[in-house]
Every structure is written in structure tokens, then in C-alpha cells.
Structure 1
Amino acid sequence: MEEVKGPLLITEKIMRIIAAISLVGMAAMTGADVFLRGAFNTPIFGCEEIVAILGVIAVGFALPYAHYQKSHIGVEILVRRLPRRVREPLELLTTLATLFLVGIITWRMFLYAGTLAESGEVSMNLELPEYYVVYVLAFGFFVYALCLLADVVKFFRKRGA
């Protein structure tokens, strides 16, 4: 699993950087739009769409990082009080359930992006193809699923050692 873990960590790091750049882009676009509206009464055409796309990229590409940082929501108050022999299988069960759900979300998003591509759906103002955005988000969920799968493998390897 170490040979998979290396590329997975590199992918997560690249995705984290892209997510951070997207957040900065969202702030810059919003700030520029507000400034231009106030100072010159000239908004940036399509700013809302660009900010929304950058938001999707930021969220989708931050999922693996949030997983590695354990910054997702959990019921820590209850779980912390359980003995270790109960806590570890419970964490495995939670990870497997999350992997199942994220796997379904990823699969369905790829299918939905294909449907959007076939229909030629575009954004309202800039007329950008929407399926690209869905593919990007699906990729973020796919990498998140790989991170979860790596945790499951790590659990069983730790048990076997």
C-alpha cells in the first residue's frame, strides 16, 4: 500500500494547492466585482458563475485534505469514551460506510456529467459547459474515496501485523 500511498499523498497535496488557489480566486473576483460595481458601476460579467465554479473546485479538491487532517465532523464526545477495542472497529465501520456513500456519489456524478455532456448544457451567462465542473467535483470525490480505501487497507494491515 505504500506504493499507492505516495502518489495519493502527492495528489492530495496538489489538490490542496489548487483548492487554496481557488479560494484566493474567489476572494479576488468577488472583491474586484464589488469594487468595480461601487467605483465605476461596472460589474464583472459572469463573476457569479466564475466564483461558483471556483467554489466547486475548492470544495471538491479540499475533501482529501480534510480527511487526512481529520477535520470532518465526528461524534467525538461519545466515541472518545469507548474502550480502544471498541473504538477501532467502530472507526472501520464508519470508514466503510463513508466509502460506500462516497463511492455511490462519485459514480453518480460521473454519470451525471456524461448526461450533461450529451445534452450540451452550458452556464447561463458565460455559456461554459457545465459537465466539466461536475467532472472536476467527481474527481475530488474519487480521490477522497481512494483515501478512505487506503485507510481501510491500513486498518487490516495493522491488524495483521
Structure 2
Amino acid sequence: MPFSAWLREHYREKGPMKLLAFALEALAALALALLMLLTCADVIGRYFFSNAVDGAVEMTEIAIAVIVFAEIPVITWRGTHVVVDIMDNAFGPTLVRFLESLTSLIIAAALYFLGNRIFVEAARSLRRGEVTEHLQLPVGYVIQYIGVMCWVAAAGTLVWSACRLYERRRTAASA
């Protein structure tokens, strides 16, 4: 099966979002595979050779940050996060749509401002030359990655909300 057909079959996003979702999930999968190999090497080294992998804890922390923050934008624009909708029937469809749009705007704004603040902290970390303890890796680049992923998630939230509004209007117009 060609890659384009596989991508069409497994990703429901449209346009560039499809490739971005694939790229972010591939990044998370690669980080997870490397984390698995690192953990195996560390355990084997520790128990059979009495010598753990130096910096394994630091690499694990970085890999987890890569995995989590690569998936946040994908989860956000797919709308697959946890939603509590026990009051939807009591409010009615118009108020529910309004509240959904309002919460999407609040979440997007929060992610945007969080990304800004994280980027300020990353710049400070790079300015100070902060590095990890054993491997001496610059911490600021990981922090910048987290900030960028917050911005991507904010944009994804707005796109998801706009698509939901468009789909509802189109459905209402055709009904």
C-alpha cells in the first residue's frame, strides 16, 4: 500500500493538518521507541554488568516531554480530550454551542499565553547556560519545544473550533 493511501486511511485530518498530525505522532513514536531501547539497555547494564547508562534519567525526562507535548496538539485538534457533558441536555443546543466556542477560545488563549511564558523561561535558561547534570545538554531547547507545542495546540484549538462551527452550520443549512 502506498504511503499516501495509508495516510488517507488512518488520518481523518484534512490538508496540512494530516501531515502535521502524522509528523507529530511519528516524533512521539520515535521518542517512545528510543525510550524503550534506553530503558532496556539501562536495565540490562544495571543487572548484568553492574553499570547503568549514564544520563538515562535525563534522557527519559526529555523523551517524556517530547512524547507528551508532541501529542497535545494532535489530541486538541481532534477534540479527543476528556469532555464532561452531563449538563448539555439541560442547556439546549444553542447554549451548548456557545459554551463550546467560548471554552475553545479560553483554552486557545491559555495555551498561547502559556507558550509565551514558557518561551520567556526558555530564553532565560539559554541565557544562563543551564544544562542537564550528567550529559550537559542545554535545557532551554527542550523548554522552547514545549512552548512551540503549546502554540501549535492553541492554533489547533482554534482550527478545531472553527471546523466544528462550520460543520454545524453546514448541517443545519442542509437539514
Q: Tell me the TM-score normalized by structure 2.
A: 0.80
The match for 1:88 is: 97
Runs of 4+ in 1 over 4 A off after TM superposition: 155-161
Give the number of the structure whose alpha-carbon radius of gyration is greater.
Answer: 2
The 3 A distance-change label for structure 1 pair 23 and 45 is same
Offset at 1:136? 1.2
- Counting only pairs closer than 5 Å after superposition, residues 113-124 of structure 1 correspond to structure 2 as 113-124=122-133
Report the secondary structure of 1:42's partner residue: coil
Identity of aligned residues (%): 26
**Which residue type is aligned with residue 30 of structure 1?**
T
The match for 2:40 is: 31
Provide the rounded CA distance (Å) in 1 between the counterparts of 2:132 and 2:83. 36
Q: Give the gaps of 5 or more residues in structure 1.
A: none
Q: Tell me the TM-score normalized by structure 1.
A: 0.87
The match for 1:40 is: 49
Offset at 1:84? 2.0
Provide the rounded CA distance (Å) in 1 between the counterparts of 2:108 and 2:146. 16
Match of 2:67 among 50, 58, 74: 58
RMSD across aligned C-alpha pairs, in angstroms? 2.0
The 3 A distance-change label for structure 1 pair 155 and 74 is closer
Tell me: higher relative CO, structure 1 or 2? Use CA pairs within 8 A at least 6 residues apart.
1
- State which drifts further: 121-130 or 63-72: 63-72
Provide the rounded CA distance (Å) in 2 between the counterparts of 1:74 and 1:156. 17
Contact between 1:13 and 1:65, CA under 8 Å: does it hold in 2? no
**Which residue type is aligned with residue 153 of structure 1?**
A
Contact between 1:110 and 1:138, CA under 8 Å: does it hold in 2? yes
Residue 102 in structure 1 maps to residue 116 in structure 2:
no
- Count of residue correspondences: 157
Offset at 1:115? 0.8
Provide the rounded CA distance (Å) in 2 between the counterparts of 1:33 and 1:76. 44
> What do residues 100-150 of structure 1 show as CA deviations (whole Å, max 9, x unaligned)?
110111111111111111111101110000011011111211111110121
The match for 2:4 is: none
The 3 A distance-change label for structure 1 pair 44 and 22 is same
**Which residue type is aligned with residue 153 of structure 2?**
Y
The 3 A distance-change label for structure 1 pair 40 and 80 is farther
The match for 1:126 is: 135
Residue 19 in structure 1 maps to residue 37 in structure 2:
no
- State which drifts further: 67-76 or 124-133: 67-76
Residue 135 in structure 1 maps to residue 135 in structure 2:
no
